[in-house]
Amino acid sequence: MERVFNFAAGPAALPLPVLERAQQEMLVYGETGVSVMEMSHRSKMYLEIFDRAQGAFRRVFNVPENYKVLFLQGGATGQFAAVPLNLLKTEADYADTGNFAHGAMVEAQKYGKVNTLTSSREDNYTYIPEIKPEMVSKDADYVHITTNNTIFGTRYAAVPDTGDVPLVADMSSNILSEKTDVSRFGVIYAGAQKNIGPAGLTVVVVREDLIGHAAPDCPKVFDWQKQADADSMLNTPPCYSIYIAGLCFEWLEGLGGVEAIEKVNIEKAAMLYDLIDNSKLYKNSVRPDCRSRMNVPFVTGDADLDAKFVKEAAKNGLINIKGHRLVGGMRASIYNAMPIEGVQKLCGFMKKFESENA
């Protein structure tokens, strides 16, 4: 069977060159005589893979020297707890802009005082509320945002100014997709399965002055200081996921880095939104200035017609395009690994479907 275009929100599509290289190295990696999956995480042969992946990430994400890069487990959901366990002493401000943003806020409430800084929940998360420095609580230890909301298809078009209060960001679904000034953030974390690599790896980028303040009852696997001291190997890391992620970082470098892929991502998103905006059948409810470049939800307004669209799209090699149950309809996740040809084929199918069903 030929490969199809996979529009899944995560675990998502991976770059074909990465998969092909992994296939070549599956049984034997280099001159080691074994597969990466068989290596001890503390062996010289694996540490070279680990260091190479971490170095490539620092380069493509342009991570300043005064930030630690941790390769952990537990997903972004694990960091929902790790963030307050490492940072929350007095109170924290959270922007409630989507399902995962809300989940992060609820999780943090277990560990201390949490304020809802802004929220678009009552409007079904169709926009990103503005954050101004004067809105931030005077005693806030940090401000938490989710830079791209996978389910609802929204994104921060600009990094909010939180003054001297550290900004913490869940970037799971748009990390490495656009230029990011890491120095504007105190902490950035991301689950890998959307725009980094396969599921299992969680990347945490944390400014060094924010390490070493974990609560006494913080589990050691969530303690950023302990993980940094152990070079992310306090326990066995997700070895193979890190290897594949490293190949993805190198693939991105080969394309010209984040700056190059951002141009492609803008083009892909514009193709879809232009079609939707000029359609008599499809609708997108997100405020235009808040639209995600990574996740494009749309509906026909008829649940039966939506189901027909999803079914026929799959027959045409366009899979995993069903929308999340909280939104319905369809959703095209067009991360870095989705080639422009995939979006072109989807747009062609959308036009044909509209002509036959509008």
* pLDDT of the residue at 358: 83
* pLDDT of the residue at 312: 98
Which residues have C-beta within 8 Å of that of residue 343, sequence separation ≥ 6?
Answer: 268, 271, 272, 332, 334
User: How many whole angstroms separate alpha carbon 254 and alpha carbon 266?
Assistant: 19
User: How many whole angstroms separate alpha carbon 173 and alpha carbon 140?
Assistant: 26
Q: How many residues does the chain have?
A: 358
Per-residue pLDDT of the chain (358 residues; tens, 9 = 90+): 799 999 999 999 999 999 999 999 999 999 999 999 999 999 999 999 999 999 999 999 999 999 999 999 999 999 999 999 999 999 999 999 999 999 999 999 999 999 999 999 999 999 999 999 999 999 999 999 999 999 999 999 999 999 999 999 999 999 999 999 999 999 999 999 999 999 999 999 999 999 999 999 999 999 999 999 999 999 999 999 999 999 999 999 999 999 999 999 999 999 999 999 999 999 999 999 999 999 999 999 999 999 999 999 999 999 999 999 999 999 999 999 999 999 999 999 999 999 999 8
**What letter would DSSP give residue 324?**
P
User: How many whole angstroms separate alpha carbon 186 and alpha carbon 159?
Assistant: 12
* pLDDT of the residue at 307: 98
Q: Where are the CATH 3.40.640.10 domain residues in the chain?
A: 17-254
Best CA proximity match to 189, nearest among 91, 69, 53:
69
* pLDDT of the residue at 293: 98
- Residue pair 134/156 in contact (Cβ under 8 Å)? The answer is no
Best CA proximity match to 149, nearest among 306, 328, 324, 278:
324
What is the dihedral angle through the alpha carbons of 109, 114, 119, 123, rounded to the nearest 10 degrees? 30
257-357 classified as CATH 3.90.1150.10: yes
Angle, CA 337 vertex, CA 34 and CA 22 arms, to 5°: 10
User: How many whole angstroms separate alpha carbon 29 and alpha carbon 46?
Assistant: 10
Q: Where are the CATH 3.90.1150.10 domain residues in the chain?
A: 257-357
**For the chain, how long is the longest CA-to-CA vector?**
63
User: How many whole angstroms separate alpha carbon 125 and alpha carbon 6?
Assistant: 25
**What are the backbone dihedrals phi and psi of residue 329, each rounded to the nearest 5 degrees, phi first?**
65, -135
Best CA proximity match to 195, nearest among 3, 57, 316:
57
17-254 classified as CATH 3.30.70.20: no
Collapsing DSSP to helix, strand or coil, 8 comes out as coil
User: How many whole angstroms separate alpha carbon 303 and alpha carbon 328?
Assistant: 8
* CA distances to 43, 138, 181, 225, 253 from 25, in Å: 18, 53, 35, 34, 20
User: How many whole angstroms separate alpha carbon 113 and alpha carbon 291?
Assistant: 31
User: How many whole angstroms separate alpha carbon 41 and alpha carbon 340?
Assistant: 37
- pLDDT tens profile 30-82: 999 999 999 999 999 999 999 999 999 999 999 999 999 999 999 999 999 99
Share above pLDDT 90 across residues of the chain, in percent, rounded to a whole number? 99
* pLDDT of the residue at 1: 78
